[in-house]
């Protein structure tokens, strides 16, 4: 049987042009790393803002999916604090901060190796159904 979601742009291992993110859960946090190359830039040396948003969306909504829920982003707010450079390892982290009915509030951030925050996100993630087996 084929493993589901392997063509996901952000985390699918079968997508030849995808980001192929790999996540770990550490305490209350969901974490991945990513190093943007020139193919990920908008302006010279700066990661495209849409891909910055993609990283944050994936870590925040993906956290609920990793916990066994069929979940989708209902709202996504991104604050770009400074340009996110290409060629540096980015730490992308999310944490669940609240729940109301089937809606979860999740926050995330992207940091540089020195701890500088380049972008922050807040998402409302809707759980459609429990897919735990």
Strands of the sheet with 103-111, listed across from one edge: 24-26, 29-35, 89-100, 103-111, 117-130, 69-80
Q: How confident is the model at residue 133 (pLDDT cuts 50, 70, 90)?
A: very low
Residues 34-73 have pLDDT tens digits of 999 999 999 999 999 999 999 999 999 999 999 999 999 9
In this prediction the pTM is 0.90
**Which fold would CATH assign to domain 24-130?**
Thiol Ester Dehydrase; Chain A (3.10.129)
Query: pLDDT per residue over 101-111, tens digit each?
Result: 999 999 999 99
Mean predicted confidence (pLDDT) in 11-25 = 86
Q: Where are the domains of the chain?
A: 24-130
């Amino acid at each position: 049987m084929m493993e589901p979601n392997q063509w996901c742009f952000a985390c699918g291992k079968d997508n030849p042009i995808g980001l192929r993110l790999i996540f770990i859960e550490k305490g209350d946090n969901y974490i991945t790393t990513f190093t943007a190359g020139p193919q990920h830039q908008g302006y010279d040396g700066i990661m495209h803002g849409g891909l910055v948003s993609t990283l944050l969306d994936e870590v925040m909504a993906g956290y609920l999916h990793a916990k066994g829920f069929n979940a989708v982003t209902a709202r996504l707010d991104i604050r770009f604090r400074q340009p996110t450079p290409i060629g540096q390892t980015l730490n992308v982290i999310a944490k669940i901060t609240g729940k109301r009915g089937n809606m979860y509030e999740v926050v995330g951030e992207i940091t540089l190796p020195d701890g500088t925050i380049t972008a922050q996100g807040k998402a409302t993630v809707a759980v459609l159904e429990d897919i735990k087996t």
